[in-house]
Chain A
Amino acid sequence: MGERTIIPFGPQHPVLPEPLHLDLIMEDEKVVGAVPSIGFVHRGLEKLVEKRDFNEMIYVIERICGICSFIHGQSYAQTLEGLMGVDIPPRAKYLRTIWAELSRVHSHLLWLGLMADAYGFESLFMHCWRIREKVLDIFEETTGGRVIFSVCKIGGVWKDIDNDTLNRIKVIVKDIGEEAKAVTDVFVRDYSVQKRTRGIGVVTYQEAIDLGAVGPTLRGSGVVQDMRTLGYAAYGDLNFEPIVEKDGDCYARTVVRVREVYQSLDLIRQCIEKIPDGEVDMKVKGNPSGEYISRMEQPRGQTFYYAKGNGTKYLERFRVRTPTFANIPTLLKILPGADLADVPVLALTIDPCISCTER
Chain B
Amino acid sequence: MAFNVINKTIMKSLFSKPATAMYPVIKNEFYPNTRGSIEMAKIENCSFCGICSKRCPATAIEVGKSDKKWEIDRTRCIVCNFCVQVCPKNCLNTQRSYTAPMRDKSSKLFTAYGPVVQEVNSGTAAQENHTQVGTAEEDA
Contact = CB atoms under 8 A, between A and B. Distances in A.
B25 interface: no
Nearest to B56: A56
B57 A141 contact: no
A351 B79 CA distance: 28
Contact of B33 (A55, A140, A185): A140
Contacts of A57: 57
Interface stretch (A142-150, A197-205, A303-311, A315-323): A142-150
Interface in A177-198: 182, 185, 189
Interface in B5-64: 5, 8-9, 19, 30-31, 33-35, 55-57
Interface in A208-259: none
Interface stretch (B80-88, B117-125, B126-134): B80-88
A50 interface: no
B111 interface: no
A52 B57 contact: yes
B80 A150 contact: yes
Q: Is the interface of B mostly helix, strand, loop or mixed?
A: loop
Contacts of A150: 35, 79-82
Interface string A124-146: 00000010010000001111110
Interface of A is mostly: helix
B59 to A, nearest CB: 10
Contacts of B5: 182, 185
Contacts of B31: 140-141, 144
Contacts of B82: 56, 59, 150
B19 A144 contact: no
A158 B78 CA distance: 17
Contact of A142 (B30, B33, B78, B85): B33
Nearest to A138: B31
B9 A59 contact: no
A269 interface: no
Interface of A: 52-53, 55-57, 59-60, 63, 130, 133, 140-145, 148, 150, 158-159, 182, 185, 189
25 contacts: A53-B55, A56-B55, A56-B56, A56-B82, A59-B78, A59-B80, A59-B82, A60-B57, A140-B30, A140-B31, A140-B33, A140-B34, A141-B33, A142-B33, A144-B33, A144-B94, A145-B35, A145-B79, A150-B35, A150-B79, A150-B80, A150-B82, A159-B33, A182-B8, A182-B9
Given A52-B57, A133-B19, A182-B9, 9 more contacts: A55-B55, A56-B56, A140-B34, A141-B31, A144-B31, A144-B94, A145-B79, A148-B78, A158-B85
Interface of B: 2, 5, 8-9, 19, 30-31, 33-35, 55-57, 78-82, 85, 94
